[in-house]
Amino acid sequence: MRYPDIPMRYGFWLPVFGGWLRNIDDEQMPATWEYVRDLALQAEALGYDLTLIAELNLNDIKGPEADSLDAWSTAAALASVTRKLELMVAVRPTFHSPALLAKQAANIDRISGGRLTLNVVSSWWADEARKYGIPFDEHDDRYARTSEWLDVLDACWHHQHTSHHGRFYNIEDNILSPKPFPRRTYSGAHPNQTPSSRPEPQRSEAAVERPAGSLAPGAPSQDANSATNLSVLDPSSLIPSRPTLYAGGESETAKNLIAAKCDAYLMHGDDPNTIAAKIADMRARRAHHPHLPPMTFGVTGYCILRDSEAEAQRELTRITSAPDPSQSPAGFANFQQWITGSQLEKKLSLRDYSVSNRGLHSGLIGTPETIAQRLADFEGAGCSLVLLQSSPQHTEMARFAAQVMRSS
C-alpha cells in the first residue's frame, strides 16, 4: 500500500485546565471562556490548523478542586466564533449515550460548518466517574464499550430508523436529523476527493441493524465508477457526512480497536524513532481492514522555544523541578490512578508527569532550528499532525508561529 504524503499540520491543546504544568500553580492562562475564546481566535489568525479540547469533569493538572471547562459546551461556543479551526473534541463513551452524542455532535458540526472532529477516549479516572455517578468499567470492558459505542454513533450519523441491541446499548428506531455537515471544511481537509470503492466489512453478531445495501460503520461509500485513490489527505473525505474519528491508546486492546474503527491515531510524546515504530505497527494492524483508507497520525509535544539552547534548558529546569514530597502539588494526587488506568507502554516518572501527556518526551526543546529539525523528523516518521502544549500559550504560540511555522 502506498501511503499519502501529508504535510505537517499544527494543532494546540486548548487550556481548559488552566495550563499543562503540575509544578506551576499560575501559568497566566485561567480556565475561563474568555481566555480560551481569545486564544482560539489568536491561533486562527496565526495559522494554526486545529485545537484539541480535552474532556474531564475534574481538573487533573491543577488538582480536582481547581476550575476546569466543560469540553462540549466550550466546543459549541467556539464553533460559533471561529471560522477555520478544526475543533477536535475529546469524548469518553463511559460518560455519553452514543445516540445522544451523535445528535449533539451533528448539531455542533452544523454550527461550525463541518469543522467538528472527535477524539475518542476510553476513561481512566475512577474517582471522577464516582463523583459524577457514572459506572466505571475495567480496562478491557471500557474498550468493549467504546467499540459498541462507535458502531451506534456511526450508524446514527449515516442512517435513519437505526436499531441496535448489544451488551451495553439498546437503541430502537433512532431518527437523527439533521445529519452532520456533508463535508470536512477545516484547514488541511480535502473534502472534494472522490470516494474509494472498497468492500464492506463483515458484520458482527451485535452489529447495528441496517437496510439492505447500507454501509457498515466506518466503511466508505461504494461507487462502481470511482477509482481507488490512496492520495487522499483526509480519511473523512472517503466517508461522507461524518466527523473524523481520532483516538489514542497503548494497550493491545486499544490499538486493535483504533485500527479497525477510527481514522487517525494520536500518540503521547515520544522520540521520532519510537513514533516511527508505533506508526509502522498501526499501519500493519490497519492492513487487516482493507476496506478502510490509510490512517493518519499525530503526536503530542510540550514546546520550549528559546533563542539559545541554554535558555531552553533553564526553562525546562524551572518547570520540572521535583516538588517537595511532603507538599506535593494537587495535580500529582491522581498520578497512580492515571498509571493504573491507562496501561502505558513505558514507565513514567514524577518528573515526566509534571508536564501533561508525556509532552517532554517529544523533545521540542531548544532553538527554532532545533525544533524545526525535530518536527521534520516526526514528519519523516509518518506524522502529519503535532498537538502542541506550551506555557503561557498566548505568548508561546505566537513565538512558535513566527519562528517555526512561518519558516517551514
- Residue 58 cell numbers, joined: 475534574
376-405 CB burial, b ≥16 within 10 A, e <16? ebbbebbbbbbbbbbbbbbebbeebbebbb
CB 283 within 8 A of CB 370: no
User: From CA 315, how far away is CA 306, in angstroms rounded?
Assistant: 9
The rounded average pLDDT for each run of 10 residues, N- to C-terminus, in the chain (408 residues) is 76 97 92 98 97 95 94 98 97 96 98 98 87 88 95 96 97 97 82 32 34 35 31 37 92 96 96 98 98 96 98 94 57 52 52 78 97 97 97 98 90
Which CA distances in Å does 194 have to 30, 106, 163, 238, 252?
Answer: 44, 23, 30, 7, 33
pLDDT of residue 214: 34
List residues bridging with 264 in a β-sheet.
246, 296
CA–CA dist 172, 319 (Å, integer):
52
Neighbouring CB atoms inside 10 A of 37's CB total 16
* Strand-pair partners of 265: 247, 297
Query: What's residue 187's pLDDT?
Result: 76
Closest CA to 36 of 10, 17, 60: 17
Residue 138 is predicted with a pLDDT of 82
Q: Report the pLDDT value the prediction gives residue 351, as an integer from 0 to 100.
A: 63
Sequence-distant (6+) residues with CB within 8 A of 333 are 63, 64
**Strand 170-174 relative to strand 162-165, pairing:** antiparallel
- Length in residues, the chain: 408
Q: Can you give the pLDDT at residue 45?
A: 97
Helices (H), 167-221: none
Residues whose CB is less than 8 angstroms from the CB of residue 177 and which lie 6 or more positions away in sequence, other chains included: 160
**DSSP summary character for residue 137:** -
Are 210 and 155 contacting, i.e. CB atoms less than 8 angstroms apart?
yes
| Beta strand spans in 197-275 (E) | 245-247, 264-267
Answer for the pair 249, 142: CB distance below 8 angstroms, yes or no: no
Beta pairing partners, 273: none
Decide if 210 contacts 200 (C-beta within 8 A).
no
* Alpha-carbon 361 to chain mean position: 18
Architecture in CATH for domain 9-407: Alpha-Beta Barrel (3.20)
pTM: 0.83
Angstrom distance (rounded) from CA 262 to CA 137: 21
Grid cell 467556539 — which residue? 78
Report the helix count and the strand count for the chain, using DSSP H and E.
12, 12
